[in-house]
Amino acid sequence: MAWSAVCDDLLDIVFPHLEKVLVEQVCVEEGVVRVQARTRNGALACPDCGVSSSRVHSWYRRCLADAAVGGRPVAIDLSVRRLFCDVASCARRTLVEQVEGLTIRYGRRTVVLATLIQDCLGACRPGRCAAGRRAAHRRQPDDAAECADGVARSVSSLTPGARGG
Ligand SMILES: [Zn+2]
């Protein structure tokens, strides 16, 4: 099997949620797995008028924190398009790509990481996880909100998106 085929298979195995984007590079910098990717060049339906557009207004980069791989935090540097809506009667002039199963509007975490955090918060009980134990130790052992905050802070401190990307 050719090396590029192995790499493609490995990407599919480790990052199945990136199947809808083009992965251009994966590297490790300062202990963080950095994935450079971009959206594909398909047409996109305007959320207001429903008419498809593929006329590019501009590209911009989103830095998304993703679930860790092999104990390393993952940051996805995703280039997305802003497209024109050319329908004269539509109030919207431009629209921004979202990638189903990967991005959340205005979100700085992937859907996978956001779901992981939600699952963790749902399962978290004071004293039963590291963040919960820290929260319980600080003040109120029965305060579930405190525990949830502890989990969110712990996860945020481990994710590259929390640093301003
Ligand atoms: Zn429109």
Q: What is the pLDDT of residues 42-100, one digit of tens each?
A: 899 999 999 999 999 999 999 999 999 999 999 999 999 999 999 999 999 999 998 99
* Helix intervals (H) in 69-129: 111-123
Q: How far apart are CA 18 and CA 40, in angstroms?
A: 11
User: H/E element holding 8?
Assistant: helix 3-14
Share the mean pLDDT of the chain.
Answer: 81
* Strand partners of residue 39: 21
pLDDT at 133: 57
**46 alpha carbon to ligand 1 midpoint, in Å?**
5
Q: How far apart are CA 78 and CA 64, in angstroms?
A: 7
**77 alpha carbon to ligand 1 midpoint, in Å?**
27
What's the token pair of residue 156? 């945020």
pLDDT at 130: 61
**103 alpha carbon to ligand 1 midpoint, in Å?**
21
Q: How far apart are CA 73 and CA 33, in angstroms?
A: 6
**Residues in CB range of 99: below 8 A, 6 or more apart:** 20, 21, 39, 78, 80
Q: How confident is residue 165, by pLDDT bands cut at 50, 70 and 90?
A: very low
**55 alpha carbon to ligand 1 midpoint, in Å?**
12
Q: What is the pLDDT of residues 111-152, one digit of tens each?
A: 999 998 888 877 766 555 665 555 555 554 444 555 555 555
Rg (CA), the chain: 19
**76 alpha carbon to ligand 1 midpoint, in Å?**
29
**50 alpha carbon to ligand 1 midpoint, in Å?**
6
Task: Domain ranges for the chain, please list them.
Answer: 3-105, 124-165
Q: pTM score > 0.75 for this model? A: no
The environment of the single-atom ion ligand 1, i.e. residues with CB closer than 5 A, is 46, 48-49, 85, 87, 90, 92
Q: What is the pLDDT of residues 22-54, one digit of tens each?
A: 999 999 999 999 999 999 988 999 999 999 999
Give mean pLDDT, residues 2-25. 87
**85 alpha carbon to ligand 1 midpoint, in Å?**
5
**58 alpha carbon to ligand 1 midpoint, in Å?**
17
**Residues in CB range of 69: below 8 A, 6 or more apart:** 14, 33
**112 alpha carbon to ligand 1 midpoint, in Å?**
30
